[in-house]
Structure 1
């Protein structure tokens, strides 16, 4: 999923455009890296809430971490909008002014990637990791059909859209799975408590 845009560029565009895409895609993983520092310290606490069946504190912690990741994404988007292209242009000795919107699309995708990573960890904690395979297969099929089409229509913007659409789809699927699993957990616990 991460490399599908690069494969499509390689198949349809020039080496120069591949290089430009790589330049603007470099900061994307900053959000994921930074968000790891936010939610890694609380993963043990989240697991403890599950073991204690303290679902109120569990869901509060999940919502808080999602808010932190979204806030970090907004901060990075603002930073990327103001400073991203000038810094990357100097760093790579290339004029990347034409790719500002592509950078913003990719940074948004980076935020979705960070959020999906957090949700995947939570889903693994509540023993739903096997269901994730279905999500990956679904999104891989989507990306397979989308990537070449979008890149042929919109060039580098199409590659950026492919990445962000795939990460957003993973995030939405993980979020829906989490909501369903959480409700199931609560119902199961309520039934046991009543018995």
Structure 2
């Protein structure tokens, strides 16, 4: 696996995140050498959703309000239905997503995570994918939706579901190695 030993990556989530969509990037990005932190709304431990029931808990390293775009090279947004639906109502979470988009730093969202891209107003004119039920939301927000394992548009990475995690994480590593991306404001 490609090394990203100097990278700092933030995963933002709350209770109800899709278990594998947080755990797999957390583990694989750390294995690649990145320093990875988890931010939750209150900076407390959060519990995942695994199949049809509550899953395992993950400790948070900081609260969303403590997270700074300047500190990190990338922001990862796990899906699950509950997690992004709660976060898209959190003004600090949306400001952080917008901040990463505006900075040109890597912004990665999987499954229902692209709801946060919609809410932050950064899906417009972007090539994106997601869980199929978000297609209309993304298209209504001006996104160009495609059914593909991973879609990248100037450092904004999206994937559909847990089956895409290997490609999703590999693309995060590749894009972090590339550094900042030039983007036109959406």
TM range (shorter): under 0.3
Q: Which has the higher strand share?
A: 2
Work out which of the two has the higher radius of gyration on C-alpha atoms and give 1 or 2: 1
The alignment's TM-score, normalised by the length of structure 1, stands at 0.21
Q: Which has the higher helix share?
A: 1
The alignment's TM-score, normalised by the length of structure 2, stands at 0.22
